[in-house]
Structure formats: C-alpha cells, structure tokens
Amino acid sequence: MDALSSDSQARTTFAERLALLYREAGNPPLKRVSEAVAQLQRVDERGRPVRVSAQRISDWRRAKNVPAQFPALAAVLQVLVPQARRARPSPVSPGLYDMAQWQLLWERAVADPVEAPESAPAAAEEEPPAVGTVCPYRGLASYRQEDARWFFGRERSTAALLGQLTAAERSGGLLMLVGASGAGKSSLLNAGLVPSLREGERQVLQLVPGADPLTELVRRLPGLAPVPDPGDPGFGDRVRAAVRAWAGESSGGRPVVIVDQFEETFTLCAEEDDRHTFVQLLHAASTPGEDGTPAPALVVLGIRADFYEQCLGYPELADALQHRHMVLGPLTSTELREAVTAPAKAVGLELEPGLAELIVREVSADGPRGAHDAGVLPLLSHALLATWQRRKAGRLTLAGYRAAGGIQGAVAATAERAWSGLDPAARTAARLLLLRLVRLGEDTQATRRRGTRRQLAAESSDPDKTEESLEALARARLVTLDAETVEITHEALLHAWPRLREWIDEDRGGNLLRQRLEEDGRAWEESRRDSALLYRGSRLEQAHAWAKSAGDTFLTRSAMEFLAASVRLRRRILWISRGAVSALVVLALVAVGSAVVAWQQRNDAVFEQVVAEADRVQYTDPSLSAQLDLVAHRLRPGDEGTANRLLSIVNAPLATPLLGHTGAVYLTSFSPDGKLLATASYDRTIRLWDVSDPRRPFPVGGPLYGHTSWVSSAVFSPDGRTLASAADDGTIRMWDVSDPRRPSSLHTPLTGHEGTIYLIAFSPDGRTLASAGEDRTVRLWDVAGKDRPRTVGVLTGAREAVRSIAFSPDGRTLAAGGDDDTIRLWNVTDPHHPRRYDTPLTGHTDLVHSVAFSPDGRTLASGGADDTIRLWNVTDPGRASALGPPLTGHTGPIWSVDFSPDGDTLAAASADSTASLWNVSDPAYPSQVGEPLAGSSGEMYALGFSPDGRTLATGSGDSKVRLWAVPTSDMFGRAGAFRPDGNVLATAARDGSVRLWNVRDPQRPRALNKPFMPDDGGQRSVLFSPDGRTLAVLTGNRSVYLWDVSDPAHPGLPRPAADPAHPIHGPRRPRLQP
C-alpha cells in the first residue's frame, strides 16, 4: 500500500481505497449495504448496535468525512470484502481485503487534519513525513486501555494506586481515586491501572454508572438479579457469592471492579433508593464476610473532587475518604515533560528545540506555586494534537504550536472554527444541543451528560440542523459519538471555550429552570402523560413566564408539550370553576336554551377535532385511528359517517402496545396455554407478560437478567414450565417459570457455540432443544432430564452463519436457514444421529432470517433479506420443492414468519416496519389478507401467533411489543356502507380499492368481486343509492364517481357525477336522493 506513505493525503487515500473496494464489490446500492450492515447485528465496544446510513457511506467514498469509530467501518468492510472476493479472489491492489491494513489506513485518515480556511496554508506547507504517521495524543478524550503505549508521566501515580489496592486487599472496603475535573482520573484508571492489573492476570470489570447504576451493575454481574434488598439478612453473602460466580477461578489474585465517573451516581441517577443500594452493593463486594472469608473483589471508585461533600452523606463512602483514598494531583515538571515528549518519541516524532520548555512553562504559569492546574491536562493534550496536525517532516514545531493557539487557545480556536462553519440555523441547533449535553448542579460545577442521537433529534425543533451541527462538532472532536449516544468529549470544554461558558453562565437560573422543565417533560412522556405530573400554581407561573421570554426555540418538544398541557389543565380547572358559578347563574336566570346551544357547539368542535385526528393517523397508526373513531361515535352516536367508519374497521387488526423494554425486541413467544408472553430484547433482558386478556396485558415480575449481551431468543418448553433464552454472548440459559412471578435460573449457562446464538427452538415433545449459531452450526441439546442439558448432536454443512431453525410438528424434521441463502432439512428422529437430506432448498437471493412449518407439517415458509417470503412443499422432506413464486410486497428484509394454529394464515414481519397476513389455506395459491399491520416506528423483527390464533404478538426496533387482534376474515377497509337491504357491504381500503361483500351471514362475510378503483386517488367514503343499484364513491380529490352495482359480482364502468375540473366541495359524505 504505497499510497499510505503520504499522510497529508491520508483522507483522500482512504476515500480512494474505499471507492476501489466498492467497485470491486460490484457497486452495490448504498441502501443495500446499509441494510446488510444492520443485518450483521454487530455491536461496538460499548455493546451498542453498529448502524451506518447510506449517506454516511457515500460521504466516506467522497472524502467528505471519515468514520468516527472503526467498528462502523469494519461492518461495512465485512459486507464489501466478501462480495469483492467472490468476483476476484486475489485483490486488484495489495491489502485491499486486509482488515489490519484498513485499520492502519483509517487511523491515519482520522488523524489527518480537517481542511479549514484558517489552517489551509499550514496544510499546504506540510511535507509528507516518513515517520510519525500515527497521532499519539488523545486531544480532549481520555486515554483508553489500548493507548497505554502512549500514556506517560503517571508512572508514579500508577504505582501509588497499586499500593493503595494492596492495602485495601488486607483491610477490605472501597478505595476512592479523587481528583479535579481534567486531572486524568479516567486516563489513569484505563491506561495506567488496568494494563498493570492485566499484566498480573487479574480479572477487571469496568463500568460507568449512568442514569441507572443498578441496571448497569447487574448487567455486568448477572448473579445479582433480581437486585437484593440491603435490609435483607443475607444481603452481603448474596452479593459476595454473585461476585465470586462472576470471577470464577482466577490465578492472578483478587479481581478488581472499577467504577469510573462515580459522580454520575449523584448527577444522573434520580432515585435515592437506587443510589443507596448501588453503594451498598459495591461496599459488600469489597468487604470480608462475617465468617472471616476474604472480600471477593477490590473496588475502585473514580470521582471528581467537588463531589466530596455528597460522598460524606454515605457512611461507606465517608469511611473510604477517611482511610482509603488517593488524591490525583498535578504532574511534576519532570512528569509533565515526559507526558509531552515521550509519546512523540514512541511514534518516531521529534520536537523542535524549545517547544517542550515552552509548553511546560505555559502549563505551569497559572498553577499554585509553579505547579500546573490539575484540570489543564486535557487542554494540553488537545494543543499537542493540534500541533501534531501542523507537523512538518515528522517534527512538532514552535510555529505549529503557536498556530494552534497554545494551551489556552487551541480548544477555543477549534471550537470557534467548527462554530463559524455553520449557518445561522445550524448555530442555533448547536447551541441547544450543547446545552442539553450539560447538566447544571444546584451547588456543584456544570458536568457533562450523555444523550442519545434519537432523543436529541426528536426533541429538537429542527432535527436536520441538529444532525448537521452534531456532525460538525464531532469532526472537530468536541463531542464524541458512538452507535447511539452523544457526549461532550471532556468537561474541560465547558470552561475552555468562552462562547459555551458564556451560554452556561449568562442565565444560570434560566438554564436550571429549562433543565428541570425538560427533565419533567421527559418523565411525563415516560409515564404516558400522567396529568398528575403536570405543573400547577407558582411552579407553572414561573416556567410559563420563562418560556414566554426565552421562546419555544430553547425548549425540547416534550417540554413544550408538557408546559402546554399544564397550561391547558389550568384553563380547564378555571373553566370548571367558572362553569360551576355560571351554571348557578344560568339556573337562576333559567337560561337553559343558550347553555344547551353553547354546549352543543363545543361538542361539535371536539367531534370534528377527533375525526380529523383519526383521519391524520389512519395510515401510520390504524389502532389509534380506530380508538379515535370509537370516541367520535360515542360523542355522536347517530352520525352515519362515523358508524360506517366503525363498520369498515370492525375486522381490521388493531394493536395494544406493551411498554418496558429499552431496546429492540427480537423475539416474541407465547406459552402453550396462551396466558404468558415472553419477549427477548437488545436491552439484554427477557420480560414476561400476562396476556390472559390481550386487551389488558401487564408485566409479570421484573425483567430476567443474566445474559451479558443482547438477547436474541426466548422460548417456552411444550409444558410451559421452562423458558430457554439465547444471546449474542454465545450462551443459552434455562429458567424455571412454573411460577412466572418468581422465575429462577436453572443450571449454569450452556456453552459450546462460538459467537452469537441467533435462535433456539424446543422439539414438540420437549426433550430436545436446538440452537442456531454464528459459528455455522446447529446444536441439539438433551433437555429431557433434571440434569444439566448436554449436547447430543451438531449439525454442520452451512457455509455461513445459521440464523433460523424450526422443528416440524411431528418432531422428525428440522429446517435451518442462514447467511448462505439456503435452507437445509435434517432428519432428527434420533437426535443423537441426525441425518441431512440431500437437496437443500435454494431460491432466496439473500440470507434467510426465518423458517416455520405449517401445523400439518406439509408446508414450510421462509423469509429472507431479499424482501420475499417463499413457500415450500415438504410433505416428503427428501423431495422438497418450491410452491409457486415468492410472495412480494414488503420493501425490507423479512425478519420473521409464523403460521396461525389452524394453518390458514401466514404472518410475516419486515424491516419496513409492517407485518403482512396471507391466506395460505391453499398454499399453491396464497393471497394477501387486507392491509399491512402498521404502527411501528422501527423495524419489525419478531412475531408469533397465540395458541388460539386470535392474537399476534410483534416486536419492533422501537422497543415496543404489540398485541394485534387478528381478524376472523379477510374483510378490510377504511370506509364502508351497507346496501339498503343490509345484504351487501361496500368497503374502501387504504390503497383506494373498493370491494363488495355478501354479509347475509355476518360471521362469514364473502367477497363478491375483485377490488376495483378509479385512477385518480384514494377514496374517502362510499354510499349506496336508495335502490341499491348505484354506488357513489367520493375520491381523494373530492370528485364523485357512480358505479353500476346492479350485479355486485360484476360492477359496471364508473361515470363521474361531476366534472373533475370542478370538484365537489362540501360535506364529508355524498348524499343520493331517491
């Protein structure tokens, strides 16, 4: 890769190489590559899903941008390289298929300076260096474990902290590392302490508390689930047992738990009980048992010095501060020089004479007694990074350092360049974005807070400008992005950038009020808009007055809606109060007539508003639209249009949402008796729901913790007493759910797969469990006895990962599909000796996500990433064959398929956020039933029928589970009207098609004709003439067409009732006179 020798062109080289690989892969559509990345289900170093948009890939190819994180690039390469290799096994250019070479290329591209008007001359003068092509300085970001080779100047502090750990090992108790913001606590823990511990072969667990420290701790220590009560007598013993179970047999000494940024326990965690329990858990893990057994772990807490006072309120933390704490102070002059010069030497760079002395002098100038301010280190690192970007021939120069702005000016200069590059609208968005990433304390300094990209965009008044400003700030390394979260790179930015400091300080009281208002607005949203949380009295007056003066631009959407709802509540209360007085006056004056008129006018206005909202959401959320239609009918029972709307949707599938998961839901599974539903989620949990009454479902117990990564599958055994779950962590867990309110873990996790386990399935007799894995195998487990399950068979032969499996109803056949676009059938009559049938099922042109057998075992359905559903005749598994052409209509991969218990209906869930229903009573001639099930705001990953076939449970990327009432026939519509004799019903569907139905037997409606429709738009309503021979259809452009339906089975050609150039305006429904 000779092109790598020119680092000044690293970004261009990166883009050119990516464009070359793209051409070699056949120039696949960008959207297809983006979808393929999502299908890989890769996660980054924080365990979050890797997602790459088509636009972002395009920007990378055009050198407009460079990936901020390597996992995102790696996922794209994992899609493109295999495609390129299939076309040309040997790369057209050396290293084109080499992941290590790509990482080196990416590192150089990331380190290459971003073009800016101010820095263009310096870039033009820079000569291609022969050495120093990797930047050893982290800027505002803290050093990570992988940066240990460049972490200098803190050797003395690392040794001192190790000595403190040795002392704590003898005494027990928490150990606290205290230092100012920017002193380098995170860097010391990550790049100093952790590598030293790992050299001694100690196990290390690292975490950051976040807003929910208990959940974060339990995710890392699954044995703590459910979280014990500190008041229980056996609390300490249980905690110590959980830690020992996690640590296992370690030859390197006692394991170490490191909690960095412990101040988040005070700033982000809102529940005092959770904070108290979290401290108690950590303390119990670090103290000996009452019987004298040693503490199972050493616990180190890194915390900012300005939270010293908060810690004193907890005896365990106060004890640590008195007896076991270490203050991280400033570097000595020698250490400071080492921190400047040694990283450069490590990568072959040299410093111009006098540069190190100048930096040490500037850093120490403002500190007490010649020492530097402890919080200046991030500014120093950023200045060195900016200097490195202006290097000449492998040398860091005085001119480059001064051009960067020095210690105090480098961050501000970088921030101002990023700011000045934005247009006015994007600058407003950037200001709001940054202020929402800052949390103000009542008595402490401002701190960073993490947010999600989705939340920041959703709460913004201009999501596009928010995204634009976010990308600009990320390119300047002022904010850090990962798969889902956003945060300011370091708190040093809060005081080093004058503009941001001014925003924070100019109206601190107003910012505190805004912060509280937005937090309360989010809590209101999360509580399903509970009116009890709305503001009242002086609190409302204060917030309302501030919002009027500040303007809506400075509030999130949820905060604005929360405040507006509070104002409306106040008006309602005043209206009711005044109404009561008015009622007395009215009664006294006997002015009943005028009051009735006013009341009727108000009801009319409410009715029209409800109907309008039902119209607005009828396509995006049919369930909500139906509920609004019902409200409208109750407001005005005699309204013919509302009654017809209800009749038209009486058989449409409507959903009840289940809320609780915080990540995508990958699988839904009913218990055999249909009373329970299990759901598996990306949030690493399994949840149980009581669905005895699908209209009123509720959670049973708390979430099941145990897996250390996202959960892919959770299924009930045929007797309903056991639940099996599988996850990305490569393990299977068995749960006793005989009492679903108190589920318990059975056995230790089952291991054997290498990598993700995508799906598991019980055999119909419950004696065998099958698991499909990323390692290209299907494993069969004997789960018949009470002993720990064991592997009895391994099915091999797949060329890529196996994603889907299903047993036939008689348990003799197993179907498996996966990433090689193929389905294989196995005879598993004897699980100890499985036998593969010779002919695989081919036809899908992309990976197979799901397979399902019909209840009679004669038909197999499959769903693939090629956006199609296929049906197969498997009556004789040895001679299986395709049944007709693929079923199409979805615009995204098919994630899941399932047959109804009677076998007449097939359901399919898709990445296009919908599910479809198909009539497969004759599998050779399937037909789609009604309209897609819509309402999800994310990819629909999972679905499953209840045992009685009346309910369909779906899981989506929006974290919601939905229970759909499955229709009893395929009669669907958005509007409808009965013929005067009541024997025929006309319906108008969402796509504009009209259909006539024989409804003499309301329990068994029968279609009389194929759907028909005019060419000029969707229909609003339909109406029969009094004699029933003519059907009037009001179209989307408010023209009326008249259809001859004398013979309902063969409607005549339509004729317009009015000139389309002069559309009808007036009532919502046409009227036909006798």
Tell me whether residue 137 is in a domain.
no
Please tell me the distance from the alpha carbon of residue 152 to that of residue 155, in angstroms, as a whole number. 7
Tell me which of 939, 965, 991 is where a domain ends: 965
**Ranges of H-type helices in 449-556:** 453-459, 463-475, 493-496, 498-506, 508-526, 537-550
**Residue range 290-308: average pLDDT?**
87
pLDDT of residue 959: 84
Q: Is residue 494 domain-shared with residue 561, that is, in the same domain? A: no
Which helix (H) or strand (E) segment is 531 a member of? Answer: none
| Alpha-carbon span 452 to 556, nearest angstrom | 14
Give domain status of residue 629, yes or no: no
Q: Report the number of secondary-structure helices (H) and strands (E) in the chain.
A: 31, 49
Same domain, 511 and 499: no
On the 0-12 / 13-18 / 19+ scale of CB atoms within 10 A, 548 is exposed
- What is residue 1019's predicted lDDT score, i.e. its pLDDT? 54
**Average pLDDT of the residues in 792-799:** 93
Is the confidence at residue 366, as pLDDT, over 80? no
In a domain, 121, yes or no: no
Burial class (CB in 10 A: 0-12, 13-18, 19+), 764: middle
How many whole angstroms separate alpha carbon 283 and alpha carbon 297? Answer: 10
Write down the pLDDT at residue 673: 95
**Beta carbons within 10 angstroms of residue 509's beta carbon:** 9
Residue 454 lies in a domain: yes
- Secondary structure letter of residue 152 according to DSSP: -
pLDDT of 131 higher than 50: no
- Cα–Cα distance measured from residue 317 to residue 309, given in angstroms and rounded to the nearest whole number: 10
Torsion angle of the four alpha carbons 174, 179, 184, 187, in this order, in degrees rounded to the nearest 10:
10
pLDDT tens, position by position, 50-96? 778 877 887 788 777 788 777 888 889 989 998 888 888 888 788 88
The type of residue at 175 is: L
Do the domain assignments include residue 696? yes
Asked whether residue 1012 is domain-assigned, the answer is yes
Statement to judge: residues 219 and 307 lie in one domain: yes
Lowest mean pLDDT among 15-19, 41-45, 386-390, 952-956: 41-45
Is the distance from CB of 391 to CB of 400 less than 8 angstroms? Answer: yes
pLDDT of residue 861: 97
Res 1072 pLDDT > 70? no
**Given a cut of 50, is residue 354 above it in pLDDT?**
yes
Once rounded to an integer, what is the mean pLDDT over residues 160-170?
90
Q: What is the pLDDT of residue 470?
A: 83
Residues of the chain above pLDDT 70, percent: 81
Q: What CATH code is carried by the domain that includes residue 173?
A: 3.40.50.300
Comparing CA positions, the residue from 102, 103, 195 lying closest to residue 147 is: 195
Whole-angstrom Cα distance, residue 752 to residue 553? 55
How many separate domains does the chain show?
A: 7
pLDDT band at residue 548, thresholds of 50, 70 and 90?
A: low
Question: What are the tokens at 500?
Answer: 């941001």
- Which of 573, 590, 607 represents a domain boundary (last residue)? 590
How far apart CA 239 and CA 233 sit, in angstroms, is: 12
Beta bridge partners of 897: 908
Q: Which amino acid is at 111?
A: A
Q: How far is CA 790 from the centre of its chain?
A: 34
Q: Are residues 988 and 871 in the same domain?
A: no
Cis peptide before 1074 (omega within 30 of 0): no
| pLDDT for 114 | 47
How many other C-beta atoms lie within 10 A of the C-beta of residue 796?
10
Buried b (16+ CB within 10 A) or exposed e, 816-854: bbbbbbbbbbbebeebeebebbeebbebbebbbbbbbbb
Angle between helices 424-436 and 498-506 (to 10 degrees): 70
Domain check: are 250 and 195 in the same one? Answer: yes
Which of the two residues, 236 and 453, has the higher pLDDT score?
236
What's the average model confidence in pLDDT over 947-965? 91
Q: In the prediction, which pLDDT does 348 show?
A: 84
10 Å CB burial of residue 746 (0-12, 13-18, 19+) is: middle
Cα 165 to Cα 713: distance, rounded to the nearest angstrom: 41
Interatomic CA distance for residues 196 and 202, integer angstroms: 9
Residues 768 and 839 in one domain: yes
Tell me whether residue 80 is in a domain: yes
Query: What mean pLDDT is predicted for residues 239-245?
Result: 89
What pLDDT does 718 receive? 96
Relative to beta strand 894-899, strand 994-998 is unpaired
CB 734 within 8 A of CB 724: yes
**Dist. CA 611–CA 613, nearest whole Å:** 5
- Please tell me the least confidently modeled range out of 437-451, 452-466, 1036-1050: 437-451
Return the pLDDT at 1071.
52
Cα–Cα distance between 206 and 519 in angstroms, integer? 28
pLDDT at 549: 60
Residues 6+ positions from 634 with CB-CB distance below 8 Å = none
∠ at Cα 1069 (1063, 1072), nearest 5°?
Answer: 90
- 781 shares a domain with 870: yes
Q: Nearest CA to 848 among 882, 881, 879, 815?
A: 815
Residues 851 and 995 in one domain: no
- Domain identity same for 68 and 10: yes
User: Tens of pLDDT along 609-639?
Assistant: 777 766 665 555 566 666 677 777 777 777 7
pLDDT at 122: 34
User: Higher model confidence: residue 785 or residue 43?
Assistant: 785
Identity of residue 38: A
* Mean pLDDT, residues 967-984 taken together: 76
pTM: 0.45
Q: Is the pLDDT of residue 1 over 60?
A: no
pLDDT band of residue 8 (cuts 50, 70, 90) is very low
886, pLDDT greater than 90 = yes
CA 887/CA 871 separation, integer angstroms: 8
Q: What angle do CA 401, 406, 407 make, to 5 degrees?
A: 130
Q: CA torsion sign, 740 to 745 to 750 to 753?
A: positive
- CA gap 1006, 923 in Å, rounded: 20
Q: What pLDDT, on a 0 to 100 scale, did the predictor assign at position 581?
A: 45
Reported for 195-199, long-range contacts at CB under 8 A and 24+ positions apart, including other chains, are: 195/145, 195/148, 196/158, 196/162, 197/256
What band does 878 get if pLDDT is binned at 50, 70 and 90? very high
Cβ(40)–Cβ(79) below 8 Å:
yes
Do 682 and 826 have their domain in common? yes
Question: Any idea which residue has 């010095």 for tokens?
Answer: 305
Q: Do 867 and 891 touch, CB atoms closer than 8 A?
A: yes
Same domain, 1042 and 917: no
Which range, of 664-668, 921-925, 1032-1036, averages the lowest pLDDT? 1032-1036
User: Where does the pLDDT of residue 99 fall: very low under 50, low under 70, confident under 90, or very high at 90 and above?
Assistant: confident
Q: Where are the alpha helices (DSSP H) in 476-507?
A: 493-496, 498-506
Would you say residue 580 lies in a domain? yes
Q: Exposed (0-12), middle (13-18) or buried (19+): which is 874, by Cβ within 10 Å?
A: buried
Give the model's confidence band at 591: pLDDT under 50 very low, under 70 low, under 90 confident, else very high: very low
We report the CATH number of the domain holding residue 365 as 1.10.8
8 A C-beta contact, residue 778 and residue 760: no
Handedness of CA 336, 340, 346, 351 (dihedral sign): negative
* 1038 Cβ contact list (under 8 Å, min separation 6): 1020, 1063, 1064, 1065
Phi and psi at 80, nearest 5°, equal: -80, -40
Distance of CA 472 to the CA centre of its chain: 23
Residues 182 and 260 in one domain: yes
Kindly indicate the confidence band of residue 7, based on its pLDDT and cuts at 50, 70 and 90: very low
Percent of the chain with pLDDT over 90: 29
Band of the pLDDT at 448, cuts 50, 70, 90?
confident
The average pLDDT across 151-159 equals 91
- Residue 522's CB is within 10 A of a number of other CB atoms, namely 16
The SS3 assignment for 241 reads: helix
Residue 999: give its domain's CATH number. 2.40.10
Q: Which of 656, 694, 662 is nearest to 677 (CA)?
A: 694
The b/e string for 678-704 (b: 16+ C-beta within 10 A; e otherwise) is bbbbbbbbbbbbbbeebeebeebeebb
Model pLDDT for residues 397-432, shown as the tens digit of each residue: 988 888 888 776 777 777 888 888 888 888 888 888
Look at residue 684 and tell me whether its pLDDT is greater than 60: yes
pLDDT higher than threshold 50 for residue 129: no
846 close to 864: Cβ distance less than 8 angstroms = yes
Q: 34: pLDDT confidence band, cut at 50, 70 and 90?
A: confident
Q: Which of these three, 479, 503, 527, is where a domain ends?
A: 503
Q: For 476-523, what is each residue's pLDDT tens digit?
A: 777 876 656 788 877 667 767 878 877 776 666 666 777 777 778 877
Output the domain CATH number for residue 453: 1.10.10
Evaluate if residue 370 carries a pLDDT over 60. no
Q: Which residues are paired to 529 by β-bridges?
A: none
Indicate if the pLDDT at residue 372 is higher than 70: no
Give the three-class secondary structure for 348: coil
Give the mean pLDDT of 225-241: 87
Give the structural domain span for 362.
Answer: 334-406
Closest-CA residue to 664 (of 48, 225, 222): 48
Q: Considering the chain, what is the average pLDDT of its residues?
A: 81
Where does the pLDDT of residue 371 fall: very low under 50, low under 70, confident under 90, or very high at 90 and above?
low
Return phi, psi of residue 531, to 5°: -65, -20
